Structure 1
């Protein structure tokens, strides 16, 4: 995957905002893979399953942003994705700034103010861009109002967007993860991620090994599908990029186990 990213970087100046976002999301995924590799060597089940769940979530978001819907829907979804992030960050920074004022020597309030100003500029820009789609009846107003980047139907204008929002299991299945795996990742791995009761039961070596084997298999599939997705999206010539000659057979294998839904 690193080779694919390196090749893409040579042409980065040609990318749109969404394409740069796809690259950054992929880099985040690679960093998670590196951490997981270290954890697997130490058989640390709590950390392995927590990081594995992080990888699944990151991959599912990347797949949704890259693959789901028409080009227009993808661009709108990505802008909503960023707008939601900006609003969340703005809320956190404001709260941090308010608490920091009690101890001005400890924190750099000027940096906080700059961050807030930058976020507000970006927020205005994205809102203006998205309002055009609303006015052209290409985007429902309530989807924009609620920053619903997980929308199912781009024209669903329901006041309560919960029914028009993909949940995590939906996102896993959009990202080609089979239903039985999706259920385990959401219901079982979450116990380890959040330190719930199930996380204290599995500790014997014979109980840990099946999870490690599953982690190797699923992360290999995620890596393979992500590379295939990047090659397709960025129209990479695999020979020029000097990628492995075994990639094609890896793609066939991944598509057999986790078939594409062409969604």
Structure 2
């Protein structure tokens, strides 16, 4: 059988239902080329693919057509300018979560903040938030103590590998939310599960770990628990920042205010959706 050209292989992939960008990235991966080399595909449109590359591309294309995330197939995901290893043990980091990182850095780099703030990332998964924060603070010459927590030993193994490869100084702890955590922090940030158990969107997320997605009938069980427990681990003036669903900001702000947090507010993601909410803990109430 004749081997396909670059153009023919991409056309075939699109007949399987793959988006053009996904097909291009998978073909580059199959050929051992970087994601940034999409111009190479255009310049070599009529090149015949080598047998091994064509076979691998077909295999990868079938996996993507079956709904497996592109990041799992490639083995990595770019997040906040960093390349993170990801696989089925952790959620794929989403660009929306960068909103939480930016907000965290705004607080931590405030001149009024402690000279060496203590930061806690609850439910770290791949380590995306903790590593992005630690890496940014290190680059800015701002020392910080960053602790990353997850209930999953598998997730912590992935996060530790990412921290090592990116030279991020992070302490890791296995804990269900704050149960095993000790000490106080100037900032607690979390991207917890927030999808309702009957949400129809779950059907498209079957390849990702369910325990990192679903939080009860309204999606707020874990957020409630974190808001209830967090003040016991915050310094006076410390902040709790939470990512949540596109339609949950009002309810999350209510929960924060009801627990006694001040300056309760939300931040918008790139699509203009209230994606994160948080508040400042000023002391016992």
Could you say whether these structures have the same fold, taking a TM-score greater than 0.5 normalized by the shorter chain as the test?
no
Normalised-by-shorter TM-score class: under 0.3
| Higher RCO by CA contacts (8 Å cutoff, separation 6 or greater) | 1
The structure carrying a bigger strand percent of its residues is 2
The structure carrying a bigger helix percent of its residues is 1
> If the length of structure 1 is used for normalisation, what is the TM-score?
0.24
